[in-house]
Structure 1
């Protein structure tokens, strides 16, 4: 895990990416300074988007790569969709 407790496998381009855990999603939200509602708004998830974010954290549903990549960028973890 990185200092922020996010596995490096979760910080890769989509073709090499591994799904983050609920705790990793929670950590990225913390680093970005987002509540679930703020994350939902930043991602354009709509009126019930905060519920979607809670489902990702609770591992009821998988977070889409695009949403994860944007959250990582908001959190200052870089542009993970580009190979360096």
Structure 2
């Protein structure tokens, strides 16, 4: 599988460590790396999925019409293999 969008390091930090909101293409890339469709990502996150398939909220995040909550982003990143981005591994108290 070829990945063309690089996920910025600023998006892979704990929320309280100068985390930056991911772009729409970064969100799409993480969803794809997790092996999800929009509908599967919505189900994974426990958010509303339309009867016709797909998830309006996921589409809004990708279109940058709405900000993705850190918690949803962190779970998607974990599913995509980026680990537990909400834990600062360099912090000895983590």
Q: TM-score, normalised by structure 2?
A: 0.82
Deviation at 1:4, TM superposition (A): 5.5
> Hey, which bits of structure 1, 4+ residues long, moved more than 3 A?
none
Structure number with higher helix proportion? 1
Deviates more, 1:13-22 or 1:46-55: 46-55
Deviation at 1:57, TM superposition (A): 0.1
Q: TM-score, normalised by structure 1?
A: 0.92
Structure 1, unpaired ranges of 5+:
none
> Residue 55 of structure 2: SS of its match in structure 1?
helix
Aligned-partner Cα distance in 2 for 1:78–1:41: 20
Structure 2, unpaired ranges of 5+:
90-94
Aligned-partner Cα distance in 2 for 1:63–1:14: 12
RMSD: 1.5
